[in-house]
């Protein structure tokens, strides 16, 4: 048995993909190890979204190069988004033996097993969703899990590399999603997060999947039996019905595509967590237009308004970028004012990092100086920290249902979990066990965490 180890960088999609890779290889006689030192194959699943993400991986590859000098039996494969972006170039790195892109994981056993197979496969697919592969989620059943519902992205936000490295958007058959979720419930999982770059554009068209060679006339079912397309709201509804005891989360929502139908489904099902991650990126209409985001500040505010009307307690988080091409002080002020108007519960904030071959790279100058990007980033972080602390302080005295996820990093005497609204909560164990739902009364907080007691 050939022992391998997977190191994962980037977003949840990569975490989920690493589980697919683990299944493909363990089904083909490879042994997954939990310690990197035990492996003679290291696979590194990579991210290209910002320059820093790639730098971290390149540093790791340099490190593996040094380890290889001491251990010539060690082999290294690069997976994920950098594999698509850099292709053969990666094979020039002394540490790298194989390169496999996000749609090439079925080819790994052949690639790793035989020198007759090319050491690189980075073609993107129009149809691959790995829907028949059951992700390997560890030797013991866990508590929370990701379930990928679609792959790729068709949005072409001007700054973003994802459509180039992940390919065209494609949705996975809802039946296979339901089957995977049912299986997770049966093995004891308590929460699933449905994953896609833009879950709101999930669309399953059964007619588009007629077997080839069958004439459309013959294949067409009777009118009353005609299967309808499945939207994200339909899928969410179907997944929520699988088990009332299973919590459902989803990410990422896109402001241009998120309609009220999703909010109505969320309102109907108590087991769908009341938390929406809705990246806004900027508060300035000039910048939003240049970013090709497909909505205005006013339309975004309108979405927030609908969320707050239909789901009054819903947690709202976002992503923000400072210093996109030609961003002025006035544009930046618009972002700060939007943040003040909305008061996000959480935000992931970045300074703009130009990515090769994106629309912004082709058409706009990366002309905001680095020092200005970083100063603006610091300003939005400071404002967001203030809002997060205020949002958490308002929770003191409230009771939240929390799913116990595991032992807190800070103290072995405490567990951590998340509220329905997506906030991390830490509390003394008090006879509870991981995987259990407990009611926690919030007693204090920081900007990042609620602290409480099981009531
Ligand atoms: N599909 C999701 C997330 C994509 S990547 C969405 O549409 O929101 C996650 C976040 O990284 C983005 O929301 C954006 O805020 C940030 N990001 C993407 N490209 C970036 C770049 N070139 N520079 C800085 N931040 C970037
Ligand atoms: Fe990138 Fe935009 Fe697609 Fe998100 S929606 S992955 S930001 S192109
Ligand atoms: Fe990074 Fe690829 Fe995800 S570029 S953010 S790992 S889709």
pLDDT 10s digits, 349-398: 999 999 999 999 999 999 999 999 999 999 999 999 999 999 999 999 99
Residue 86 CA, ligand 1 centroid: distance in Å: 19
* Confidence check: pLDDT of 208 > 80: no
Beta-bridge mates of residue 350 = 321
Dihedral of the alpha carbons of 174, 179, 184, 185, in degrees to the nearest 10: 100
Could you tell me which residue, 79 or 118, shows the higher pLDDT? 79
pLDDT at 212 over 80: no
Out of 8, 11, 350, mutate this one to test ligand 3's pocket (max ligand atoms within 8 Å of CB): namely 11
**Model confidence at 417: pLDDT above 70:** yes
DSSP state of 116: T
Q: Quick one: pLDDT at residue 210?
A: 46
Q: What is the pLDDT of residue 140?
A: 87
What backbone torsions phi and psi does residue 108 show, to the nearest 5 degrees? Answer: -60, -45
| The pLDDT of residue 322 is above 60 | yes
Question: Mean per-residue pLDDT for 24-40?
Answer: 95
Which pLDDT belongs to residue 214?
44
Q: Across the chain, what does the average pLDDT equal?
A: 95
Residue 48 CB less than 6 A away from ligand 3: yes
Residue 45: its pLDDT value, please? 98
Ligand 1 atom 3: residue of nearest CA:
197
Mutational pocket test of ligand 1: of 9, 49, 349, the residue with most ligand atoms within 8 Å of the beta carbon? 49
Candidate from 51, 160, 320 with most ligand 1 atoms within 8 A of CB, to mutate: 160
3-state secondary structure of 420: coil
Tell which atom from ligand 3 comes closest to the C-alpha of 9: 6
Starting from the CA of residue 280, give the closest ligand: 1
Pick the closest to residue 44 from 95, 10, 79, 68 (CA basis).
79
Predicted local confidence at residue 115, as pLDDT: 85
CA dihedral defined by 147, 149, 151, 154, rounded to 10 degrees?
A: -140
Interval 109-131 mean pLDDT: 94
pLDDT the model gives residue 84: 98
Note the ligand closest to the C-alpha atom of 17: 3
Cα of 67 from ligand 3 centre, angstroms = 27
pLDDT at 223 over 80: no
Q: Is the pLDDT of residue 266 over 50?
A: yes
Among 20-24, 209-213, 276-280, which stretch is predicted with the lowest mean pLDDT? 209-213
> Could you tell me the distance, in angstroms and rounded to a whole number, from the CA of residue 14 to the centre of ligand 3?
7
Q: What is the pLDDT of residue 331?
A: 98
**Among all chains, which residue has been given the structure tokens 């496999």?**
100
pLDDT exceeds cutoff 90 at 207: no
Report all structural domains of the chain as residue ranges with CATH numbers, in order of start.
2-121 (3.40.50.12160), 399-454 (2.40.50.140)
Q: Are 163 and 201 in contact (CB under 8 A)?
A: no
Q: Give the DSSP H or E segment for 391.
A: helix 370-393
Residue 179 pLDDT greater than 50, yes or no: yes
- Out of 213-217, 393-397, 416-420, pick the least confident: 213-217
Nearest CA residue ID for atom 1, ligand 2: 160
Ligand nearest to the CA of 163: 2
| Tokens describing residue 324 | 């996109």
Element (H, E) at 370: helix 370-393
164 CA distance to ligand 1 middle (Å): 13
Index of the ligand 2 atom closest to the CA of residue 154: 3
Has residue 202 got a pLDDT over 50?
A: yes
Pocket of ligand 2 (CB under 6 A): 153, 155-157, 160, 162-163, 197-198, 254
What is the separation, in whole angstroms, between the first and last Cα of the chain? 49
Q: For ligand 3, say whether the CB of 198 is within 6 Å of any of its atoms.
A: no
Spatial strand order of the sheet with 315-322 comes to 275-277, 315-322, 346-351
Gyration radius of the chain over CA positions: 23
Q: What lines the ligand 1 site, CB under 6 Å? A: 49-50, 159-160, 162, 197-198, 252, 254, 279, 281, 319, 321, 350, 352-353, 355
pLDDT tens string 272-316: 999 999 999 999 999 999 999 999 999 999 999 999 999 999 999
Provide the pLDDT for residue 228.
85
Q: How confident is the model at residue 139 (pLDDT cuts 50, 70, 90)?
A: confident
Ligand 2 centroid, distance to 62 Cα (angstroms): 30
226, pLDDT greater than 70: no
Residue 162 Cβ < 6 Å to ligand 3: yes
């Amino acid at each position: 048995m050939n022992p391998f180890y997977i190191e994962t960088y980037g977003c949840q999609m990569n975490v989920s993909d690493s589980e697919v890779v683990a299944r493909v290889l363990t089904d083909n006689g490879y042994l997954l190890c939990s310690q990197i030192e035990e492996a003679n194959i290291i696979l590194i699943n990579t991210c290209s979204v910002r320059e820093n993400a790639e730098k971290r991986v390149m540093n790791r590859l340099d490190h593996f190069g040094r380890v290889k000098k001491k251990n010539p039996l060690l082999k290294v494969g690069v997976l994920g988004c950098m594999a698509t972006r850099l292709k053969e170039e990666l094979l020039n790195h002394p540490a790298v033996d194989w390169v496999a892109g996000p749609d090439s994981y079925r080819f790994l056993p052949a690639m790793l097993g035989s020198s007759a197979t090319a050491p690189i496969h980075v073609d993107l697919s129009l149809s691959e969703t790995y829907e028949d592969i059951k992700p390997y989620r560890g030797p013991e059943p866990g508590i929370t899990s990701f379930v990928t519902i679609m792959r790729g992205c068709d949005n072409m936000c001007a700054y973003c590399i994802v459509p180039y490295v992940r390919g065209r958007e494609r949705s996975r058959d809802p039946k296979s999603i339901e089957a995977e979720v049912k299986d997770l419930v049966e093995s004891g999982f308590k929460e699933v997060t449905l994953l896609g770059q833009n879950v709101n554009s999930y669309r399953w068209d059964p007619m588009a999947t007629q077997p080839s060679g069958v004439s459309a006339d013959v294949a067409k079912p009777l009118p009353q039996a005609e299967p309808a397309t499945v939207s994200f709201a339909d899928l969410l509804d179907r997944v929520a019905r699988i088990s009332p005891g299973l919590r459902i989360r989803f990410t990422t929502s896109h402001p241009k595509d998120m309609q009220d139908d999703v909010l109505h489904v969320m309102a109907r099902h108590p087991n769908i967590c009341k938390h929406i991650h809705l990246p806004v990126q900027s508060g300035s209409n000039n910048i939003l237009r240049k970013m090709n985001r497909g909505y205005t500040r006013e339309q975004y505010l309108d979405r927030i308004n609908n969320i707050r009307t239909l789901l009054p307690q819903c947690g709202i988080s976002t992503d923000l970028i400072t210093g996109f091409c030609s961003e002025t002080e006035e544009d930046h002020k618009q972002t700060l004012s939007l943040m003040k108007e909305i008061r996000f519960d959480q935000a992931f904030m970045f300074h703009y990092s130009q990515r090769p071959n994106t629309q912004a790279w082709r058409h706009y100058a990366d002309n905001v100086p680095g020092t200005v990007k970083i100063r603006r980033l610091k300003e939005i972080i400071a404002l967001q920290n203030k809002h997060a602390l205020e949002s958490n302080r308002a929770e003191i005295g409230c009771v939240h249902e929390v799913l116990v996820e595991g032992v807190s990093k800070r103290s072995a005497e405490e567990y951590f979990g998340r509220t329905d609204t997506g906030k991390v909560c830490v509390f003394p164990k008090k006879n509870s066990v991981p995987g259990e739902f407990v009611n926690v009364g919030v007693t204090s907080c920081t900007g990042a965490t609620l602290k409480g007691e099981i009531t």
